[in-house]
């Protein structure tokens, strides 16, 4: 099949798309496509640059800026009367309307004001570009946090593998306490039986994600690395997995408590930690938002994601919530642009799509934009020109 785009011929609407681009009416993907095409057609690229150059200067020729806009008589002066009478039935008809209405030339119905969007972004936002950059997949948050507590019935609830522990630390924003031991090591057993059961120690463990690793269960290479750091091995890692305090060996309660306190202080740098109950609540909220998103209740999901993005207690949770907001923002843009595309062939269908979308996004800031687009579509019989709100 011959592809005219690759075959050297400019597409028929290339000039129109240049105008749409200069007027800020193209979405980013369309702009990229246009740029690629202009690169193959330097003569049109030259037109694009010059049209952009005069765009602002000729702005006064259109729009309802009465003090400086050209009135109809001025435009009429530019249009040769003879050729207008002969060929321009549409211009004449429009002129008659203007004279009757006593309105300015720039107020022709087809020159309706752009619809300024209050929330939907026509361009890909920075948060969308950076979405999913965090390491913990969103789906894991509820599972990780919803049912976790570091202490139950006065006893430490050790996480038994390092991978789950680090994921929990990242998800919760809490430091990780690593306890590396051998089952046959008497000092390790002494710490388990005494120091780690002391109420003062248990109370401080509430601040951590406690991870107990049987050093025999590790690969030889990993085991050697950890043994070299001493055992029983005690280390505090911050939520990013960096060791901030190490205190291998046997400790009495006072020493152990002091080391735990140092570890917390270094890991959090004075940052106030959310309670586990709060974290579990946020994890449940995140889970509900995901469920709502998957069920198509995008307005409800957006509200929850936005609240978690604002108030979430860990960097990872905030990042995951930001991803959620970005996904829903993108979905709103897709819904709007899909309706715009559909309106070219099916205005009623596009209106119905916008109604449906407004319901799906109800309660979010995007619903108003969708509803406004539908209102304008119904009123004008065509899709409004879209402009990003400022």
Site for another protein contains 45 (CB under 8 A): no
Q: Shortest Cβ distance from residue 85 to another protein (Å)?
A: 13
Q: Of 11 and 291, which has the nearer Cβ to another protein?
A: 11
- Residues 6 or more apart in contact with residue 159 via CB below 8 angstroms: 165, 168, 209, 210, 211, 212
Site for another protein contains 246 (CB under 8 A): no
Q: What does the alpha-carbon distance between residue 307 and residue 100 come to, in Å, rounded to a whole number?
A: 53
**Residue among 210, 168, 207 at smallest CA distance from 316:** 168
Contact 151, 202 (CB under 8 A): yes
**Residue among 200, 214, 308, 184 at smallest CA distance from 253:** 200
Site for another protein contains 54 (CB under 8 A): yes
Which of 19, 223, 229, 359 touches another protein (CB under 8 A)? 19
Q: Shortest Cβ distance from residue 97 to another protein (Å)?
A: 13
Q: Shortest Cβ distance from residue 12 to another protein (Å)?
A: 6
* Beta bridge mates, 245: 236
Q: Of 50 and 341, which has the nearer Cβ to another protein?
A: 50
Q: Shortest Cβ distance from residue 165 to another protein (Å)?
A: 59
Which of 4, 5, 13, 334 touches another protein (CB under 8 A)? 13
Which of 108, 119, 253, 258 touches another protein (CB under 8 A)? 108
Binding to another protein by CB under 8 A, coded x per residue (else -) over 111-130, reads: x-------------------
Q: Shortest Cβ distance from residue 312 to another protein (Å)?
A: 42
Which of 2, 6, 7, 90 touches another protein (CB under 8 A)? 90
**Which H or E run includes 179?**
strand 176-181
Residues near another protein (CB under 8 A), total: 39
Site for another protein contains 42 (CB under 8 A): no
Q: Of 86 and 147, which has the nearer Cβ to another protein?
A: 86
Contact 104, 98 (CB under 8 A): yes
Site for another protein contains 57 (CB under 8 A): yes
Q: Which two tokens stand for residue 335?
A: 């819904």
Q: Which two tokens stand for residue 285?
A: 């909220």
Q: Of 35 and 77, which has the nearer Cβ to another protein?
A: 77
Which of 11, 15, 151, 250 touches another protein (CB under 8 A)? 15
Site for another protein contains 60 (CB under 8 A): yes
Site for another protein contains 47 (CB under 8 A): yes
- Cβ neighbour number for residue 256 with a 10 Å cutoff: 21
Which of 11, 24, 30, 88 touches another protein (CB under 8 A)? 88
Ordered DSSP codes for 12-64: TTHHHHHHHHHTT-S-HHHHHHHHHHHHH-HHHHHHHHHHHHHHTGGGGGSSS
Q: Shortest Cβ distance from residue 62 to another protein (Å)?
A: 5
Site for another protein contains 12 (CB under 8 A): yes
Helices (H) and strands (E) in the chain, counts: 18, 8
Put the strands of the sheet holding 243-246 in their side by side order: 209-214, 176-181, 233-237, 243-246
**Residue among 123, 113, 20 at smallest CA distance from 336:** 123
Q: What does the alpha-carbon distance between residue 286 and residue 138 come to, in Å, rounded to a whole number?
A: 9
Site for another protein contains 101 (CB under 8 A): no
Q: Of 197 and 382, which has the nearer Cβ to another protein?
A: 382
Site for another protein contains 73 (CB under 8 A): no
Contact 60, 68 (CB under 8 A): yes
Residues that bind another protein (CB under 8 A): 12-13, 15-16, 19, 43-44, 46-47, 50-51, 53-54, 56-62, 67-68, 70, 74-75, 77-80, 83, 87-91, 106, 108, 110-111
């Amino acid at each position: 099949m011959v592809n005219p785009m690759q075959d050297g011929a400019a597409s028929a609407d290339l000039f129109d798309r240049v105008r749409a681009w200069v007027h800020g009416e193209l979405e980013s993907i369309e702009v990229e496509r246009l740029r690629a095409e202009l690169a193959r057609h330097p003569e049109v690229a030259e037109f694009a640059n010059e049209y952009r150059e005069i765009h602002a200067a000729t702005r006064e020729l259109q729009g309802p800026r009465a003090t400086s806009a050209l009135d109809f008589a001025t435009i009429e002066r530019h249009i040769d009367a003879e050729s207008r009478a002969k060929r321009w039935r549409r211009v004449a008809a429009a002129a008659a309307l203007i004279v009757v209405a006593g309105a300015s030339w720039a107020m022709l119905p087809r020159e309706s004001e752009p619809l300024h969007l209050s929330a939907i972004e026509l361009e890909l936002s920075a948060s969308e570009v950076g979405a999913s950059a965090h390491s913990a997949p969103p789906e894991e948050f509820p599972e990780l946090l919803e049912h976790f507590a570091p202490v139950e019935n006065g006893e430490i609830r050790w996480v038994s593998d390092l991978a789950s522990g680090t994921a929990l630390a990242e998800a919760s924003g809490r430091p990780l306490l690593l306890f590396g031991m051998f089952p046959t090591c008497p000092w390790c057993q002494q710490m388990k039986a005494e120091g780690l059961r002391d109420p003062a120690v248990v109370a401080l463990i509430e601040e951590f994600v406690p991870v107990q690793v049987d050093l025999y269960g590790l690969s030889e290479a990993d085991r050697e690395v950890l043994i070299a750091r001493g055992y029983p091995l005690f280390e505090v890692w911050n939520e990013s997995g960096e060791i901030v305090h190490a205190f291998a060996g046997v400790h009495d309660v006072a020493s152990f408590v002091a080391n735990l306190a140092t570890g917390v202080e270094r890991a959090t740098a004075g940052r106030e930690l959310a309670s586990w109950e709060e974290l579990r609540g946020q994890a449940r909220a995140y889970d509900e938002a995901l469920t709502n998103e998957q069920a198509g209740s995008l307005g409800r999901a957006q509200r929850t994601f936005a609240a978690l993005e604002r108030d979430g207690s860990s960097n990872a949770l905030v990042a995951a919530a930001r991803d959620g907001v970005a996904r829903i923002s993108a979905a709103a843009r897709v819904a709007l642009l899909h309706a715009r595309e559909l309106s070219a062939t099916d205005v009623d269908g596009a209106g119905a799509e916008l109604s449906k979308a407004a319901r799906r996004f109800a309660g979010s800031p995007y619903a108003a934009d969708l509803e406004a687009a539908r209102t304008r579509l119904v009123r004008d019989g065509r899709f409004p020109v879209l402009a990003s709100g400022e």
